[in-house]
Copies of this chain bind each other. A is one copy, B any other.
Amino acid sequence: MAKPVEFWFEFASTYSYLAAARVEAACADAGVPLVWRPFLLGPVFAAQGMTTSPFNMFPVKGAYMWTDMARCCADLGLPFRKPGSFPRGSLLAARVAAAHAEAPWVGAFVRAVYHANFAEDRDIADDAVIAAIIDEIGVDPDAAVAAATAPAGKAALRAATEDAMARGIFGAPSFLVDGALFWGNDRMQQALAHARAA
Contacts and interface: CB of A to CB of B under 8 A. Distances in A.
Interface of A: 48-49, 58, 60-61, 63-64, 67-68, 71, 75, 168, 170-171, 180-183, 186-187, 190
Contacts of A61: 48, 170-171
Contacts of A171: 61
Contacts of A71: 190
Contact of A64 (B58, B64, B183, B190): B183
Contacts of A182: 68
Copies of this chain present in the complex amount to 2
Given A48-B58, A64-B168, 6 more contacts: A48-B61, A60-B170, A63-B168, A64-B183, A67-B180, A71-B190
Nearest to A187: B68
Contacts of A168: 60, 63-64
Contacts of A60: 48, 168, 170
Nearest to A193: B75
A187 B48 CA distance: 27
B181 A64 contact: yes
Contacts of A187: 68
A73 to B, nearest CB: 13
